[in-house]
Structures are given as structure tokens and as C-alpha cells.
């Protein structure tokens, strides 16, 4: 959730016997090696090596089983729709996308080589193309059976309502009122185009190889939602130079994006608001996860990083103008 590089991903400790028992549920193995990975906070992640190939084994840490099943339903749908940039969960021998063993549950994927990209025009262009491919998938009746992004993430109305609530930190309220003096009036109630969105497409949720986007990771906030929210979140967490949102990188991102999906007029007009909203949305996610749930005490005030990024971006717009 825009925090992958901040936290170790090895909370639930697995030994090779426990991993072997899980792999037996898939009729895969035997295991020759198990290696813990530093990728995320919602799961403990392991690279599992067998005689034939490598796998990515995830053990859920803070999601319940139903939430994980809903996430896998999104990934399986994307696979059926031909979206090649997402991972496909393995099915257990009994045909389940989520395994359960004793008090542990999680998922299994192929292990893919690649690294998250550094900030560059090429990387932003590639991620823009990838996001546009997601937003260009056919909208079938099956989409309506998938969860809504707001079941696991935060859209305009939720951000606005939280900023007015007694639970909101004072600095969150102050920054919201400064950035959105209109209180997101109009934006929150507009009927934006919707479909399947990622909900957290920061650059650290991608894998690149030879400067090409290979995989989009972590659809933990994926589901039905507004494309403009998804676009704002991704721009705010991808088009960064020294931690600041870069107008030239935004243009590179949009060049890639619009080579696949042309932005409707209203989305172009409200693009800057969408970027601000993206920052407040992920900031709220961090408040809920780290400040209220205290999942990681070191991250309690990490939401402020995104508020400051919004303030700097507002100053950038005054100097350089809208993207």
C-alpha cells in the first residue's frame, strides 16, 4: 500500500517443514530451499524452491480469510480477461485459491524475476501503459460480483467524511481544508467512469526487466472503482523525483496511459485534484493501519509524509502550472 519498501515481510515465521506441508496442499514439492523476502506488511513472503521451479508463498498477517479470497477473485477475473500484467494464484488440489493449514492461510504464485524501477520517464511511461490496459478491460456483468475498492480502500467521499470526523488527526484536517477549500464539492458526487482498478499502483508495486514493465503486484486494494481515483493514486506514488511529484514525469506517465486509453475531458480537468486525492487516500490508509491499529509503531506518523507531498505539489502547480 505504498509502503512496501518500509517494512520487512517476514512476520509469520515458517520453517521448511511447515512450508512443505503447505506445498503438499498443491501437490508441489519437495522443497529444496525456503528464503524469507522483504516485500510488504500484510503478508509474510517466502521464495520457495523445488527441483523444478521457484514459487512465491504468502502467509496472511492482517487480512482475514474472506478478504484474501475476494482479492484472489479479482486476480482470477483479470486472468480470465487476458490481463497479463497481474499474477495468477495457484489452485490447491481441492480447487481453492486460498490455502488453509492449521491457523495459517495465504496464497501461492509463480516467483517472477524483476525489480521495482527507479524514477524515470521510461518507467512512468511503462506504468502508465500498464494502468491504462487495466482500465481498458471489457466491463462484463461479472465485474459487478467483485468487491468494491472502497471495501478495502478510500475514495473521495470517504476521505472527505473522515476529514470532518473527530477521528481525523488535526494535521490531516488542516491539510485537507488547505488543499481542498471547496471540500471536494462536485468531485465526490460526479459520476466518474468505473471498472477494475488497482487502488495502490505505486512504482514499488511493479516489477521491471530491461526497462519493461513485467508485472503489477499487490492488488490488495483492487476491485471495482473509479478510474480517476486509481490514476491519481498511481501518479502521486510513481511520478516522483527526490520524493516530490514531478510534472515532467506526470507527462511521461500520461503519454503512455493515453496511448491505450484517452482521458475523458472531465478527468483531464480534474487531474490535479485526483493526484491530491490519491495522496489523501493512501494517507488515510496509513492512519487506519498504523495509527489506529498500531500494526507497526515505526509507521505511526508515516501518513504525514503524504500530506507534506501534497503541500509541495500545490506549490509546484503554482510555479509550473497543471500537467
- Going 282 to 288 to 293 to 299, the CA torsion angle's sign is positive
244 and 304 part of one domain? yes
Q: Phi-psi bin for 182: left (phi > 0), alpha (psi -120 to 50), beta?
A: alpha
Say if residue 126 is in the same domain as residue 62: no
126 lies in the same domain as 270: yes
pLDDT at 41: 60
Q: Is residue 74 part of a domain?
A: yes
Residue 97 sits in the same domain as residue 132:
no
Q: Are residues 204 and 70 in the same domain?
A: no
Domain assignment present for residue 293? The answer is: yes
Last residue of a domain, one of 76, 110, 144: 110
Domains identified in the chain, total number: 2
Same domain, 197 and 276: yes
Three-state secondary structure string covering 171-225: HHHHHHHHHCCCCCCCCCCCCCCEEEECCCCCHHHEEEECCEEEEECCCCCCEEE
Considering the domain boundaries, does residue 130 fall inside one?
Answer: yes
* 37 and 150 in a common domain: no
pLDDT (0 to 100) of residue 15: 87
On whether residue 2 sits in a domain, the answer given is no
Q: Is the pTM of this model over 0.75?
A: yes
Is residue 265 included in any domain, yes or no? Answer: yes
Q: Which helix (H) or strand (E) holds 158?
A: helix 156-163
- Residue where one domain finishes, among candidates 52, 81, 110: 110
Which positions of the chain have pLDDT values less than 70? 1-12, 38-42
Q: Are residues 99 and 141 both part of a single domain?
A: no
165 and 51 co-located in one domain = no
Quote the CA–CA distance of 296 and 314 in Å, as a whole number: 30
The verdict on residue 137 lying in a domain is yes
pLDDT of amino acid 38: 66
Instruction: Confirm whether 302 is domain-assigned.
Output: yes
Q: Which of 110, 133, 156 delimits the end of a domain?
A: 110
CATH number at residue 38: 3.30.200.20
Handedness of CA 262, 265, 268, 270 (dihedral sign): negative
Predicted pLDDT of residue 226: 98
Cell 500530506 found at: 307
Q: Are 29 and 75 in the same domain?
A: yes
Q: Are residues 195 and 55 both part of a single domain?
A: no
Domain with 251 in it: what CATH number?
3.90.1200.10
Question: What count of Cα atoms within 13 Å lies in the side-chain half-sphere of residue 97?
Answer: 16
Structural domain range at position 262? 121-320
Does residue 178 sit in the same domain as residue 155?
yes
22 domain residue, yes or no = yes
Amino acid at each position: 500500500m505504498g509502503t512496501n519498501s518500509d517494512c520487512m515481510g517476514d512476520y509469520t515465521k515458517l520453517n521448511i517443514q511447515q512450508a512443505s506441508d503447505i506445498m503438499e496442499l498443491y501437490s508441489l514439492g519437495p522443497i529444496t530451499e525456503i528464503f524469507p523476502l522483504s516485500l510488504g506488511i500484510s503478508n509474510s513472503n517466502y521464495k520457495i524452491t523445488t527441483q523444478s521451479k521457484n514459487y512465491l508463498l504468502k502467509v496472511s498477517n492482517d487480512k482475514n480469510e474472506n478478504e484474501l479470497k475476494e482479492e484472489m477473485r479479482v486476480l482470477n477475473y483479470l486472468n480470465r480477461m487476458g490481463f497479463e500484467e497481474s499474477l495468477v494464484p495457484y489452485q490447491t488440489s481441492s480447487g481453492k485459491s486460498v490455502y488453509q493449514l492449521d491457523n495459517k492461510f495465504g496464497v501461492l504464485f509463480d516467483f517472477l524475476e524483476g525489480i521495482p524501477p527507479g524514477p524515470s520517464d521510461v518507467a512512468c511511461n511503462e506504468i502508465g501503459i500498464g494502468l491504462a490496459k487495466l482500465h481498458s478491460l471489457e466491463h462484463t456483468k461479472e465485474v459487478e460480483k467483485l468487491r468494491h475498492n472502497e471495501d478495502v480502500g478510500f475514495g473521495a467521499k470517504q476521505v472527505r467524511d473522515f476529514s470532518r470526523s473527530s477521528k481525523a488527526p488535526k494535521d490531516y484536517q488542516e491539510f485537507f481544508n488547505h488543499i481542498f477549500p471547496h471540500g471536494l464539492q462536485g468531485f465526490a458526487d460526479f459520476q466518474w467512469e468505473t471498472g477494475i482498478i488497482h487502488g495502490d499502483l505505486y512504482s514499488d508495486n511493479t516489477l521491471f526487466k530491461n526497462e519493461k514493465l513485467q508485472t503489477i503486484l499487490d492488488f490488495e486494494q483492487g476491485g471495482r472503482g473509479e478510474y480517476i481515483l486509481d490514476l491519481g493514486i498511481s501518479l502521486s506514488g510513481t511520478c516522483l523525483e527526490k520524493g516530490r511529484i514531478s510534472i515532467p514525469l506526470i507527462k511521461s506517465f500520461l503519454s503512455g496511459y493515453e496511448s491505450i486509453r484517452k482521458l475523458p475531458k472531465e478527468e483531464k480537468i480534474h487531474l490535479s485534484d485526483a493526484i491530491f486525492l490519491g495522496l489523501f487516500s493512501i494517507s488515510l490508509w496509513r492512519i487506519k493501519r498504523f495509527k489506529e491499529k498500531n500494526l507497526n509503531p515505526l509507521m505511526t506518523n508515516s501518513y504525514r509524509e503524504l500530506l507534506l507531498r501534497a503541500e509541495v505539489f500545490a506549490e509546484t502547480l503554482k510555479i509550473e502550472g497543471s500537467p
